[in-house]
Structure 1
Amino acid sequence: MKRYLYLWHRWLGITLCLFMALWFVSGVVMLYVGYPKLTPAEQLAGLPVLSTENCCVSLETALAARGESVAPQSVKLTSVANEPRYLLGFPGKAQVAVDARTGKIIAPVDRNAALAAAQAFAGGAQVSYLGLVYEDMWSHSRALSAERPFHVVQVEDLQQRRLYVSQHNGRVLLDVTAQERAWNWLGAWLHWLYPLRGGVFDSWAADIVIYLSLAGTVLAILGLVVGLLRWRFAKPYRSGSRSPYPSGFARWHHIGGLLFGALLITWIFSGLMSMRPWHLLDSQSVLRPDAYYGAELHADGSELPVAEATKRFDQAGIQAREVEWRFIGGRSYLVAYDAVGNSRIMLSAGAMEAQVQLPSITLERAAQAMLPGAQVELEWLTAYDFYYFARAEQSMYGNKNKRLPMLRVRFNDSAGTWVHIDPYSGALIDQLDQRGRVGRWLFNLLHSWDWLPLLERPLLREVLIIAFSLGGFAISVTGIVLGWRRLLRTRSRHRQSPALTCKQSIPDKGKG
């Protein structure tokens, strides 16, 4: 039995140690430089204050321009190339842009329009056109899929940004700095095996990552078992060492595996869980998010004119860069955002003044409608906890604005669902059932070390991750060297064996 353990560990290691070494190097890079994305703060910072001069047509007119009976999931008033635009969001489709002055749908954006949109977003900096792309090494994010293709525009600023402009509506959806382009070759692009994307392996990319991670987990477990079996706890070997390897790469691999093997297992296994394999962590919640909103987005003709709404927001201390329409509990609200993401909310009709937050009772009643008759437990979070926390901008979740306080609603449904609600905008932040919370442990904690005591001490977290990554890297590199040597010896034996076989098969004619 031991022999088979050794053989499986040896031959799996020859194949997988290279991938593991790359994962450790790229993981350290990702501590400081994440995969390119445009955060809400960056998006708002690139917009002018909404101009209401000779603007704007009503929401009813903007919705009618679409000419479809299906209601949009989202509606916002923003700026594209410094011009006011309604953006209508539909499931699985690119946002539809409507000219807020004329009420006409914007035609697909050409090169010149993309340059104008990028230059306005970049504050007037000099720009140049790089081309139209469907997907490249910096735009693999699935969140961008509906908006493809993109016009890519180079900005001559200090960061040497490249802006990705949607051909459908002219909105800037991604910026990639020169630093991100340089470091991501060693960072997320390698860590997530993005070289597999966009080519012949594209449809199998997720499965390849899943099964490589699974094989890596098995390899690490076998390695730890073999390492313990080979370690002399009671009586040392003749050399005086408790390892059978007195020196060299084999000794480093053995001792490194014993020291860092358990951590290696958790990192690779948690990386596997990040892929949500085989639907193991899919939500089983029966809650209906649409019931929270209480109505599809529509215009009933009683909304405040945009100019009046922005005036009220200005009086409340918000110079609106974007205004969003939102239904909560069947009532229509306007949410305005300024350049740094501060917001105010008010009813879209009537004399209600803009408020910082919605009343608790409004949110609680809307949440209860998601599962009528269910028992709920309400909790207002005023500090981050294990299931609700903020991450640095470069992290995987750095584009999510996690404000406090936040309302958590626990339902007594069979899936044990929790709902998180942002009182500043009334938005449903996320929905976690029991499986989702298990995923939080298996991925976020084990892989990213998203644990509050460490998140509150980022320097300590970085030092620990780098130190343990070096340990895992040492295991992987020594495994590569040992595997390479094994392959060379095997190849050498194979070269010699035909000649030996031939010589042994020739009869000795001098005898008999």
Structure 2
Amino acid sequence: MSAASRARRLLYLVHRWMGVAACVLMALWFVSGIVMLFVGYPKMTPWERLRVLPALQAENCCVPLQQALAAAKSPVKEATLTTVGKHIIYRLQLRDGRIVAIDARTGIKIDIDTPQVLASAQAFLSHTPGHEIGTVDEDRWTHSRALDAHRPLHIVQMEDPDRTRLYLSSATGEVVLDAPLAQRAWNYVGAWLHWLYYFRDRPVDPGWSWIVIVLSALGTITAISGTIVGIWRWRFSNRYKSGSHSPYRESWLHWHHLLGLLFAAIIFTWIFSGLMSMNPLGIFDARGQKPDLAAWRNGDAIAERLPLEPTQAITLLQRTGFQPVEISWRILDGQPYMLARNAAADTRLIMHDGDGFAVRNQWSGDTLLHAATRLLSAPIRSHRELTHHDDYYYARQPEAMMGAVERRLPVWRVRFDDPHATVVYLDPSTGDVALSLDRAQRTGRWLFNFLHSWDLPPMLHAKPWRDIVLILLSLGGLAMCVTGTVIGWRRLCIWYAGKGKGRAKRIS
């Protein structure tokens, strides 16, 4: 047998035996992928959180921020005035990463207990009754690292029609995650199954990561080998004796061949992009210098805060017709300001204006670009104000993996002349660096997000046609995997029967 024949035979064997297991796994991925188009993994979006908060009132609102800072008894990095249950609180993030809650009316640190947890849960769901069922460091719905500062989490089962399960912070008592019963149930055949979360038991789990990487790699190899074998066996210019271009007469084999060729490209791109989603070996990690956010701020938001107390800020905002539900203390380019949000997640900025203070909708482009010069040591190559989303800065629907990320418009896109061609997006409505991507991260965006989710802005705007196409392609891939599963099962039965006969012969 020639080397070419041996190589071909090896490829047949690789596809045959890897496909026995891979087709089952890929079938589950196609089914769960369809579910994930409509039901996402539980998350708390900013608009969900803000819409239930009452408007802050200046009357009997709060003690001065300085009193709350003293009650924290540790250096404070960030401060936010908000409402949790029946309490107006200062939510303080300490420099060591911990979060504490200070009662804004008394200036006393709040120790979270069951009555406060229940009051917060009931306020979140319009005074619906509920009961606490315990605390948990982490369970199948709370893998997100964004919850780390709030662990352990209190779990409250609500008695609403949706049978919503709420997770609340043990640091502040606020609701950090909501998961209705239907969402939890669908997730068992959706995101939880798709991401193989039954292998995961903590936010950072290298074991789970490598399981997904290895299985995705095996699926990719199966798809590639199957495509090559399918093309080899297909007669393009003539036909087999059966009159078909395919050599397989048996129906399952015949349809597996046809479906495999028809959906080969989409099956490969979805399995391969799933592998890329795990960022194997850190190939899409940012290279070189990362944006220096401390230099961007150029000051201490707490120590250099505006000399304006919350009651004054609330009154000033209300005079402009803006009803704040949350106020944070910030600094940008050495200029302190206050960021206010209302229940619709709209924002306003309070900043110095001569000898007084003024409410503004946005930071000026000049201020943002001046601060941006300190983000990287490299010079700015170009900048542009965007009034529409582009291929990297765009919003997703709430059920998507990144559906809780705010992508406001307008936004400033700044390109740097560094070795890794870093692009930074600056949000003038909040004064935040909304997104930063270097060349490696942009490559990951195409090899994962685009290939896996078809998430170019024009595609996302083409609902429901995008969903219909994705479902039809998924059903085609599922049909191919089902035929492969049947073939694999029959092959295993034949192999096992042959092995049993061989054992009987040896015994006799």
- TM-score interval (norm. to shorter): over 0.9
Task: Tell me by how many angstroms 1:251 deviates.
Answer: 0.9
Shifted more, 56-65 versus 30-39: the winner is 56-65
Aligned counterparts of 2:79 and 2:210: Cα–Cα separation in 1: 36
Task: Tell me by how many angstroms 1:64 deviates.
Answer: 2.9
Who is 1:40 aligned against?
A: 46
Q: Are residue 13 (structure 1) and residue 16 (structure 2) matched? A: no
The 1:373/1:132 distance shift into structure 2, 3 A limit, reads: closer
Residue in structure 2 matching 1:229, options 229, 232, 252 = 232
CA deviation map 1:219-277 (0-9, x unaligned):
10001001011111222111111111124111111111101111111101111111111
Who is 1:509 aligned against?
A: none
What runs of 5+ residues in structure 1 fail to find an aligned partner?
Answer: 504-512
Contact 1:316 1:344 in 2 (8 A): no
Who is 1:255 aligned against?
A: 258
Residue in structure 1 matching 2:350, options 346, 353, 370 = 346
Contact 2:82 2:91 in 1 (8 A): yes
Q: Are residue 456 (structure 1) and residue 453 (structure 2) matched? A: no
CA deviation map 1:349-375 (0-9, x unaligned):
852311111111111111112135613
Q: Are residue 174 (structure 1) and residue 180 (structure 2) matched? A: no
The 1:461/1:91 distance shift into structure 2, 3 A limit, reads: farther
- Give the counterpart letter for 2:58 in structure 1: T
Task: Tell me by how many angstroms 1:95 deviates.
Answer: 2.0
Task: Tell me by how many angstroms 1:465 deviates.
Answer: 0.5
CA deviation map 1:150-206 (0-9, x unaligned):
11112222332211111122111001112211211111010111111229x955111
Contact 2:305 2:329 in 1 (8 A): no
Who is 2:79 aligned against?
A: 75
Describe the SS at the equivalent of 1:186.
Answer: coil
Who is 2:4 aligned against?
A: none
Who is 2:163 aligned against?
A: 160
1:80-479 aligned at under 5 Å gives the runs 80-90=84-94, 93-107=97-111, 109-198=112-201, 203-286=206-289, 287-300=291-304, 303-347=307-351, 351-372=356-377, 374-479=379-484
Who is 1:508 aligned against?
A: none
Who is 2:68 aligned against?
A: 62
Who is 1:506 aligned against?
A: none
Aligned counterparts of 2:95 and 2:418: Cα–Cα separation in 1: 27
Describe the SS at the equivalent of 2:356.
Answer: coil
Task: Tell me by how many angstroms 1:416 deviates.
Answer: 0.8
Task: Tell me by how many angstroms 1:133 deviates.
Answer: 1.8
TM value normalised by structure 1: 0.94
Contact 2:153 2:168 in 1 (8 A): yes
Contact 2:133 2:155 in 1 (8 A): yes
Shifted more, 448-457 versus 50-59: the winner is 50-59
Describe the SS at the equivalent of 1:458.
Answer: coil
TM value normalised by structure 2: 0.94
Describe the SS at the equivalent of 1:392.
Answer: coil
Shifted more, 92-101 versus 211-220: the winner is 92-101
Aligned counterparts of 2:292 and 2:301: Cα–Cα separation in 1: 16
The 1:8/1:90 distance shift into structure 2, 3 A limit, reads: farther
The 1:110/1:299 distance shift into structure 2, 3 A limit, reads: same
Q: Are residue 27 (structure 1) and residue 33 (structure 2) matched? A: yes
CA deviation map 1:445-485 (0-9, x unaligned):
10000022211111110011001101111111111111111
Who is 2:490 aligned against?
A: 485
Contact 1:111 1:129 in 2 (8 A): yes
What runs of 5+ residues in structure 2 fail to find an aligned partner?
Answer: 1-6
Task: Tell me by how many angstroms 1:110 deviates.
Answer: 2.1
Give the percent of matched residue pairs that are identical in Structure 1 and Structure 2.
44
Contact 1:334 1:348 in 2 (8 A): no
- Give the counterpart letter for 2:155 in structure 1: V
Aligned counterparts of 1:474 and 1:362: Cα–Cα separation in 2: 56
Aligned counterparts of 2:175 and 2:104: Cα–Cα separation in 1: 18
Contact 1:271 1:447 in 2 (8 A): yes
CA deviation map 1:301-323 (0-9, x unaligned):
75201101011111222111101
Aligned counterparts of 1:92 and 1:474: Cα–Cα separation in 2: 52
Aligned counterparts of 1:263 and 1:94: Cα–Cα separation in 2: 45
Q: CA-atom RMSD, angstroms?
A: 1.8
Aligned counterparts of 1:39 and 1:355: Cα–Cα separation in 2: 25
- Count of equivalent residues: 499
Contact 1:51 1:84 in 2 (8 A): no
Aligned counterparts of 1:261 and 1:373: Cα–Cα separation in 2: 44
Contact 1:196 1:202 in 2 (8 A): no
Contact 1:303 1:348 in 2 (8 A): no
